[in-house]
Amino acid sequence: MKVEGNIEKYYHYAFPMQTILVTCNDETGKTNIITLAWHTPISRKPPLYGISIAPKRYSHALIEKSKEFVINFIPYSLVEAAQFCGTHSGLSTDKLCKTGLTLVPSKKLSTPLIKEGYAHLECKLAKSVPFGDHTLFVGEVIVVTADEDAFKNELLRTDQIHPLYYIGENAYTTLDRAKRKTF
């Protein structure tokens, strides 16, 4: 039997959603970090990646101005940092200081990477489109980097890397001892 759900929470049916940290800079070069679950690859050629951010977030203004951002894919071990960066605004909190995360320079942008992440997409803003109560920022991916042990033959090493997933209502999970089948 199917039960009808709450349409306002339609996106709960997409859980678990991989949770990422996005870095973005202010005009002085100070870096803010926002936690995002709404993000997706959009195009192979050109390589485009989309992130959906509500206009009220501080990061929204930063990305509109700097026109760049970095996607940091993170392991489950950063769950506390992700929850913190997803519940505090960079407008009033130095999230870098509070989480103890480490920034390292990116290859082609002013915006840095988060060292503790396992893979990174350096994105230049290609387009921003408002949709309802969020804005879709579409970034052209100009450089990708990853920890050397994170991927083997371009496949994520799920025996080594346990990505962070959000399942709603302040709860997270990961792919620990995930079932796996390769064709």
Ligand X SMILES: Cc1cc2nc3c(=O)[nH]c(=O)nc-3n(C[C@H](O)[C@H](O)[C@H](O)COP(=O)(O)O)c2cc1C
**Least Å from the CB of residue 111 to ligand X:** 14
Please list, in sequence order, all residues whose beta carbon lies within 8 angstroms of the beta carbon of residue 87, skipping any fewer than 6 positions away.
Answer: none
Question: Could you say which DSSP state residue 29 is in?
Answer: S
Cα angle value 42/35/180 (rounded, 5°): 65
Element (DSSP H or E) covering residue 49: strand 48-53
User: Total residues contacting ligand X (rule CB under 6 A)?
Assistant: 21
Is there binding between residue 89 and ligand X (CB under 6 A)? yes
The span of 49-57, 68-76, 96-104, 108-116 binding ligand X (CB under 6 A) equals 49-57
Per-residue tokens: 108: 């082609």
**Least Å from the CB of residue 124 to ligand X:** 19
Find the Cα–Cα–Cα–Cα dihedral 21, 149, 77, 114, rounded to 10°: -30
Cα angle value 119/120/125 (rounded, 5°): 155
**Least Å from the CB of residue 171 to ligand X:** 9
> Residue with the closest Cβ to ligand X?
86
Range 122-141, binding ligand X (CB under 6 A): none
**Least Å from the CB of residue 155 to ligand X:** 25
Is there binding between residue 106 and ligand X (CB under 6 A)? no
Q: Given the rule CB under 6 A, which residues bind ligand X?
A: 19, 32, 34-38, 52-54, 57-59, 83, 86-91, 166
